Structure 1
């Protein structure tokens, strides 16, 4: 019988998302593919430092600690297969159980998300993230300058999400962009009882909660989630009612009314935070691993 990843939480990510290959990538930018491949081969036995997504991956794989295969992590990379040697060696040295990888030597890799059944794609390449989002997969571009601390709260996986254009659709954000804050508040008050349409990251939040329920008390790692949004009262009500309608809870909700998110995320200490606005990502990156979700009306790049 063939192996399949059904009923697993599948995370696909580029090598630059999992490991710090920024210096090597500079060689690629300045000298090209051949020089990059030679450098990675020369460094094949030199373990790479943790990248932005390393804490997230490490803790997700801890949901397999009782021997039950619940989470699968796959490298999905524009790297050449030779450079992939260092990726697998670095994963082994770090104690990260990564067994599968697809290396495309510069070709867009996101087309392989479908056969993987991926619930999340993380990459340092904005075009690949955009292609994944267009294909209806949760995806984010990692902020390589994010603060990374792989050892904090080791028995708790903390993930924070923005609301509009991330967990929810950008319906309300479009009202704000076209009519301003008063129009937005009036619109959300009038539609408070009508759930927001789902955004690109609703499937990931659902999959994470299925994972937590499946693992229960069998593993030490626990999931803690937060909604961190620029909404404030009275627009908070529609967000809360939407989550109730979906049957999905979050552990913390921060309705910040335009305040910078970074200081609040610094207290929450996320292993990853997802937001659709670059200014929020820049603030959040000072607190922990951050990914830009290039979806919605504020990211018109693909419309």
Structure 2
């Protein structure tokens, strides 16, 4: 039987999201391709430190066994193929079972997400993230300064999501930003039984939910959380939307505008996804964080 990625949760990840390559990237950004490649070859047998997405990748790969491999991690990098040698060696050094990689020598790798059937794309490059989101794939720009602890909660994969403009579309958020909080609440109460349109990360949450139902006997369990600025009575439309989709989350925090950081510290996520830079900056001390460059909050940055 030919190899296939059908039915798998496929995580496409840049080398800078998986490993700490910030010093090397400083050389890459100078535009001196030769110097960058020479540096990577010089450090070929020197594994870089682990990066912000390492704990998530490490735990997701632990869902695989000799009998089943529901998760595939693929390097999708702007590195050149020669520099990719170091990335594969680093993955082997850290015991990560990563066999596939796409190396595009300075060009965006997002066009390969379709043949990969990617469930998630993580990158430190905002242009690549925007391109992936426009193509319809869940994608986030990682914050390299995020706290990351692969030893924390070793038997659980904890992933937290914002609601509007992440799991859901930015339909309601546009009302809030364009009018007022009172008008937002009124808008949501009137439409309480009308499911919110899907946001960019609905497919990823659905894929995780599918893995949860298949992974009850695994040593590593998945735990999800909705962490949103919504509060009662606007919370109900969010919950009803998840029910309509047939997707459950394990925890939900309806914060009514309170800072998310302290609540995320209590949850201890392996990754948190939010569309707003301010929320992401407040979350980095709690754990790995990625900004979803989608919706009204990101239009002025386009």
Same fold (TM over 0.5): yes
Q: How does 1:257-276 map to 2 (within 5 A)?
A: 257-276=256-275
Contact 1:167/1:199 (<8 A) preserved = yes
Q: 2:96 corresponds to which residue?
A: 96
The separation in 2 between residues aligned to 1:144 and 1:40, in whole angstroms, is: 19
Contact 1:130/1:302 (<8 A) preserved = no
Q: Describe the SS at the equivalent of 1:84.
A: helix
Q: 2:247 corresponds to which residue?
A: 248
Q: 1:26 corresponds to which residue?
A: 26
Q: How does 1:51-200 map to 2 (within 5 A)?
A: 51-200=51-200
The separation in 2 between residues aligned to 1:191 and 1:32, in whole angstroms, is: 54
The separation in 2 between residues aligned to 1:49 and 1:86, in whole angstroms, is: 12
The separation in 1 between residues aligned to 2:66 and 2:240, in whole angstroms, is: 36
The separation in 2 between residues aligned to 1:235 and 1:35, in whole angstroms, is: 54
The separation in 2 between residues aligned to 1:26 and 1:67, in whole angstroms, is: 42
Per-residue CA deviations over 1:21-51 (Å, capped at 9, x if unaligned) read 0111112224622111111110010111110
Unaligned runs of 5+ in 1: none
Kindly state the Cα deviation for residue 66 of structure 1 after the two structures are TM-superposed.
4.9
Q: 1:41 corresponds to which residue?
A: 41
The separation in 2 between residues aligned to 1:249 and 1:213, in whole angstroms, is: 11
Per-residue CA deviations over 1:58-112 (Å, capped at 9, x if unaligned) read 0110110354111000000000111101100000000100000000001111000
Change (3 A) 1:264 1:66: farther
Q: 1:282 corresponds to which residue?
A: 281
Q: 1:237 corresponds to which residue?
A: 236
Please give the root-mean-square deviation of Cα atoms over the aligned residues, in Å.
Answer: 1.1
**Structure 1 runs (4+) greater than 3 angstroms displaced:** none
Q: Describe the SS at the equivalent of 2:74.
A: strand
Contact 1:76/1:109 (<8 A) preserved = yes
The separation in 2 between residues aligned to 1:175 and 1:240, in whole angstroms, is: 19
Larger mean CA deviation between 58-67 and 278-287 belongs to: 58-67
The separation in 2 between residues aligned to 1:189 and 1:209, in whole angstroms, is: 27
Q: Describe the SS at the equivalent of 1:279.
A: helix
Per-residue CA deviations over 1:135-183 (Å, capped at 9, x if unaligned) read 0000000001100101000000000000000000100000001101111
Change (3 A) 1:231 1:276: same
Aligned residue pair count: 302
TM normalised by structure 1 equals 0.97
Q: 1:14 corresponds to which residue?
A: 14
Unaligned runs of 5+ in 2: none
The separation in 1 between residues aligned to 2:99 and 2:66, in whole angstroms, is: 18
Change (3 A) 1:263 1:302: closer
Contact 1:13/1:77 (<8 A) preserved = yes
Per-residue CA deviations over 1:201-222 (Å, capped at 9, x if unaligned) read 00000001111222331x2000
Kindly state the Cα deviation for residue 2 of structure 1 after the two structures are TM-superposed.
2.2
